[in-house]
């Protein structure tokens, strides 16, 4: 009897476990979650790469004084648009006018001396032809004429130099653009080379950016080696405040060195 009881208990335990397993399996089937299904399509995607750029005007130069003098007139305002050739500043030109008058007087004196030397050569030639004086006197007269002509050339150069310096007292705009800050005031003593202001032509701007070596090599593998390979791709510009600049740019050129 003892043996039979043990066997029955074991069999009952097996039946109970089987029943529990069956109930657990049914519960798992009822808890199956349905997930969404997506279809993956193969297509080309344009990837964008962002770079920090340094924006510069097409022309941006410093306006500096070419001669020294007192600043007599400021003919423009900060931030003003100016045209090519428009007067910007006027330096005191009295000293340079005096230098020009001196140069002109020296030129006239040299021209008069040359005319006198020419007359002397003609006179000596006549006397030599009549055997009144020797040919040595004629050679000496010709040498004096050459010296006088050299003085004329030197005087002409000095007059031109004085005229150029006088013209430098009126500073003009070399091209159209916007005037930057003007640091000096009327009456300031200006030395040669003093910065007067900065002029920028903003009609067209360039955005300069740097590409790493790894990115450059990747572009080369994709066939973009020269600037012409890039020109078909438009370039977007975002300003420092995150706003989008409405005008698109084009790739212009790339540096020759890596």
Residue 121 lies in a domain: yes
C-alpha to C-alpha distance for 227 and 251, rounded to whole angstroms: 7
Q: Is the pLDDT of residue 36 over 80?
A: no
Exposure class string for 25-56: b at 16+ Cβ within 10 A, else e: eeeeeeeeeeeeeeeeeeeeeeeeeeeeeeee
Mean pLDDT over 243-252 rounds to 85
What CATH number does residue 137 fall under?
1.10.287.470
Mean pLDDT over 128-152 rounds to 93
Q: Is the pLDDT of residue 28 over 60?
A: no
Q: Where are the alpha helices (DSSP H) in the chain?
A: 2-30, 94-129, 135-167, 213-221
Residue 233 lies in a domain: no
C-alpha to C-alpha distance for 254 and 225, rounded to whole angstroms: 10
Mean pLDDT over 136-162 rounds to 96
**Residues in a beta bridge with 89:** 74, 171
pLDDT class for 94, splitting at 50, 70, 90? very high
Residue 48 lies in a domain: no
The arrangement of strands across the sheet holding 53-64 comes to 53-64, 195-209, 177-179, 81-82
Give me the percent of the chain exceeding a pLDDT of 90. 53
Q: What mean pLDDT is reported for the chain?
A: 84
What angle (nearest 5°) sits at the alpha carbon of residue 133, between those of residues 129 and 134?
Answer: 90
pLDDT digits (tens, 9 = 90+) for 133-144: 899 999 999 999
Mean pLDDT over 6-30 rounds to 46
The pLDDT value recorded for residue 70 is 98
- The residue that leads in pLDDT, 155 or 247, is 155
Q: Is the pLDDT of residue 80 over 70?
A: yes
Residue 199 lies in a domain: no
List the structure tokens of 28.
Answer: 């798992």
Residue-by-residue DSSP string for 156-192? HHHHHHHHHHHHTTEEE-SSSEEE------TTPEEPT
In this prediction the pTM is: 0.68
Exposure class string for 246-256: b at 16+ Cβ within 10 A, else e: eeeeeeeebee
Residue 104 lies in a domain: yes
Residue 112 lies in a domain: yes
Mean pLDDT over 96-121 rounds to 97
In order of 111, 138, 148, 232, the CA distances from 134 in angstroms are: 28, 7, 22, 86
pLDDT class for 7, splitting at 50, 70, 90? very low
Give, for 198, the enclosing helix (H) or strand (E).
strand 195-209
Residue 98 lies in a domain: yes
C-alpha to C-alpha distance for 170 and 73, rounded to whole angstroms: 9
Q: Which domain holds residue 162?
A: 94-168
- The residue that leads in pLDDT, 102 or 214, is 102
C-alpha to C-alpha distance for 197 and 178, rounded to whole angstroms: 10
Please say whether the beta carbons of 142 and 170 come within 8 A. no
Residue 27 lies in a domain: no
The tally of domains found in the chain comes to: 1
């Amino acid at each position: 009897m003892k043996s039979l009881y043990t066997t029955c208990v074991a069999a009952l335990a097996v039946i109970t476990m089987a029943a529990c397993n069956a109930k657990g399996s049914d519960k798992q089937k009822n808890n199956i979650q349905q997930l969404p299904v997506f279809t993956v399509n193969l297509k080309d995607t344009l990837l964008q790469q962002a770079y920090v750029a340094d924006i510069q005007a097409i022309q941006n130069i410093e306006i500096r004084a070419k001669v020294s003098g007192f600043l007599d007139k400021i003919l423009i305002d900060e931030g003003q648009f100016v045209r090519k050739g428009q007067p910007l500043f006027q330096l005191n030109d009295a000293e340079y006018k005096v230098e020009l008058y001196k140069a002109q007087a020296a030129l006239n004196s040299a021209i008069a001396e040359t005319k006198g030397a020419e007359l002397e050569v003609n006179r000596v030639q006549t006397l030599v032809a009549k055997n009144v004086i020797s040919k040595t006197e004629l050679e000496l007269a010709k040498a004096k004429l050459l010296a006088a002509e050299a003085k004329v050339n030197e005087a002409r150069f000095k007059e031109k130099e004085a005229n150029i310096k006088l013209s430098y007292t009126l500073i003009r705009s070399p091209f159209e653009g916007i005037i930057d800050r003007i640091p000096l005031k009327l009456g300031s003593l200006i030395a040669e080379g003093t910065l007067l202001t900065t002029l920028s032509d903003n009609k067209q701007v360039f955005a300069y950016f740097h590409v790493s070596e790894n990115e450059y090599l990747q572009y080369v593998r994709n066939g973009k080696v020269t600037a012409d390979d890039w020109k078909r791709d438009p370039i977007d510009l975002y300003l420092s405040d995150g706003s989008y600049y409405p005008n698109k740019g084009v790739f212009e050129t790339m540096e020759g060195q890596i």
